[in-house]
Chain A
């Protein structure tokens, strides 16, 4: 139990709410859902396993000649519970094997966008139930790691199409995962180029500027925005460098230490995602993306009801009663897909 900071009788003690919340939080744990979007072979699985320091997902890339080449984008979520110092997180990583891998990639983003919207829809449906669960299991996607191709000159046409749609429904963090084939100069040029193009196409990546931010937050956010896209190197291997274990990659010409800031932005990405902005990612998903979805959905339902009422009133077609039960959110959502 925490001791009051001040013994005097004037001390009210409401500042202990943070500890009370912490205890509740510890008991309940929380959900964190991340979707990985990028062509196969971009280093998605390795990166996410590196970020969370455990083998969470297997790469879904095509390894043997016998495996069939995928024709569509599949959605493959994997959930695990991790614990650190008594805090439990139900971590769901959603991989998207097949994305961008075909000769014709038209529409390869549709299953991805649908999945993200479906989670919003499911949450909305549970929220609208007359008898709600005390705690709704949050499956909404809190972050999307979008993998750029190292060596491209900038955003590719596919990137532009997909990013525009993704940024409307979730927090997008662009990364270059296999950045160890880019020299420092190439990286700088590429990052600058990407930033220019993002601005030009009005693609808003996370973190979003907000008036609420204090001075400190603004500085932090702006330094993060400077790094975007994160040029990272992932590794699940620990190698021996003169007796010291290093998580990295051993090339014929040198060893990459993924934690070395001169080698990659890995540390910055991990700190950003998990140590400084984790709670913000979850909150912004709820307050911005989910709210947007909810507003547009409820508006549609309202319009639909108005139409049905009008149809029932005039012409007398069966006079079907507008539904009083929780509206079928997924059905409407599908029609607007």
Chain B
């Protein structure tokens, strides 16, 4: 899965050297680096690429080279693009695997985008399921289950659009969805507060499952309960990405410059970027992995093995036919239909 590996020059000096954050010790440090798999979904132009580059402080996804006119308007079907970046956060090594989905929502008819993403997610689960059932297991098995899906919402100021509702509703019970507002610098502070409220009302009213920082059953301290409540109140996270670094009082500062002012990416009053970064790579990395492995995967496994199908339109019955995408992720064993436990085809 190593495309665009993290051997590129770290161009921008780390802007975190002056920031001290309380270390979170809720994870075991792994020698090789803790694998953390994140999928980015959202229409083009909402800042997915910039977000990732800003997150990793280097150009992971190069700026899109404008194709010539003849090809540009043709809706390319959504693709799954993989990138791997070695990160270090508070002394802990993380192997960040990103799956970008360029082309999502960009066509005239986008109905099949959801199905394809759902299948993709489920194939990763199928791989693990198959591996678990092997007589002789592969000790070097790479777990490609996706721990979080960052969904980028357009800053309309209104409530959710059909695309947003459908995506989160269909995938929310398979994967941890963290909704994010892309290009959030187009909203004034007041508009942003209102928009966040509207989005969350919509999510709650429609029973859409997202990762809303739940307190685990055996939650110990008040501090984490409080922290979760605080983060819940920030949803969806307003992000601004940037790739411009200026010098302010000798410190490098990441900004977006407009004629009327300068947005500072790391300024908590301008964007939630820093907080989100901390959540993903530090405070909640363990929760997200945990919930994926022990919650969502188990749910999928039960459904699959018992032949029940809770999710409408689940691709469970057609998974066997769509094994091909998994083959693209090198290193993980290909799931052969014969290896799967005999599950009865489910009426979708």
> Which chain A residues have a beta carbon within 8 Å of chain B's beta carbons?
39-42, 59, 61-67, 69, 101-106, 149-161, 178, 180-181, 183-184, 193, 196-197, 200-201, 249-257, 260, 262-263
Contacts and interface: CB of A to CB of B under 8 A. Distances in A.
B163 A103 contact: yes
Given A105-B109, A181-B155, A181-B183, 7 more contacts: A61-B159, A66-B205, A103-B114, A180-B258, A251-B263, A255-B260, A260-B260
Given A151-B47, A200-B69, A69 B165 contact: yes
B198 A254 contact: no
Nearest to A160: B73
Interface of A is mostly: loop
A102 B75 CA distance: 16
Interface in B296-326: none
Contacts of B114: 103
Contacts of A250: 188-189
A265 to B, nearest CB: 12
A104 B109 contact: yes
B73 A154 contact: yes
B176 to A, nearest CB: 22
B260 A41 contact: no
A274 B66 CA distance: 35
Contact of B158 (A62, A106, A193): A62
A252 B110 contact: no
B205 to A, nearest CB: 4
B2 interface: no
19 contacts: A41-B154, A41-B156, A61-B156, A61-B157, A65-B159, A65-B202, A65-B206, A101-B161, A102-B163, A103-B113, A104-B110, A150-B186, A151-B183, A156-B73, A157-B74, A178-B155, A251-B260, A253-B263, A260-B260
Contact of A161 (B66, B108, B110): B108
Interface string B251-287: 0000011111111100001100000000000000000
A73 to B, nearest CB: 13
A103 B78 CA distance: 14
Contacts of B154: 41
Give me the 8 closest cross-chain CB pairs, A-B, nearest first. A254-B261, A41-B156, A151-B45, A181-B186, A65-B205, A61-B158, A253-B261, A254-B260
Given A154-B66, A252-B269, A184 B156 contact: no
Contacts of A150: 45, 183, 186
A154 B72 contact: yes
Contacts of A193: 66
A160 B201 CA distance: 35
B41 to A, nearest CB: 14
A200 B68 CA distance: 10
Contacts of B69: 196-197, 200-201
Nearest to A257: B260
B158 A153 contact: no
A64 to B, nearest CB: 6
Interface string B152-184: 001111111111011000000000000000110
Which interface residue of A152, A181, A197, A257 has the most chain B CB atoms within 10 A? A181
A197 B73 contact: yes
Interface of B: 44-47, 64, 66, 69-70, 72-75, 106-111, 113-114, 154-163, 165-166, 182-183, 185-186, 188-189, 198, 201-202, 204-206, 256-264, 269-270
A66 B263 CA distance: 34
Contacts of B198: 63-65
A22 B111 CA distance: 55
A40 B45 contact: no
A152 B107 CA distance: 12
A180 B158 contact: no
Contact of B66 (A41, A62, A153, A252): A153
B243 to A, nearest CB: 11
A104 B263 CA distance: 35
B185 A181 contact: yes
Contact of A262 (B45, B205, B259): B259
Given A65-B206, A102-B162, A252 B73 contact: no
Contact of A254 (B109, B163, B165, B258): B258
A185 to B, nearest CB: 9
A69 B110 CA distance: 16
Given A153-B45, A157-B75, A180-B186, A40 B156 contact: yes
B188 A106 contact: no
A102 B113 CA distance: 13
B52 to A, nearest CB: 16
Contacts of A42: 156
Contacts of B109: 103-106
Nearest to A256: B260
Contacts of B159: 61-65, 67
Contacts of B263: 251, 253
A63 B158 CA distance: 5
A229 to B, nearest CB: 14
Nearest to A189: B66
Which interface residue of A157, A251, A260, A263 has the most chain B CB atoms within 10 A? A251
A104 B31 CA distance: 47
Nearest to A193: B66
Which interface residue of B69, B165, B260 has the most chain A CB atoms within 10 A? B260
B167 to A, nearest CB: 9
Given A153-B44, A153-B72, A263 B188 contact: no
Contact of A157 (B66, B106, B166): B106
Given A40-B156, A255-B260, A103 B47 contact: no
A180 to B, nearest CB: 6
Contact of A103 (B46, B162, B183, B256): B162
A257 B160 CA distance: 29
Nearest to B161: A101
Nearest to A237: B188
A155 B45 CA distance: 12
Contacts of A102: 162-163
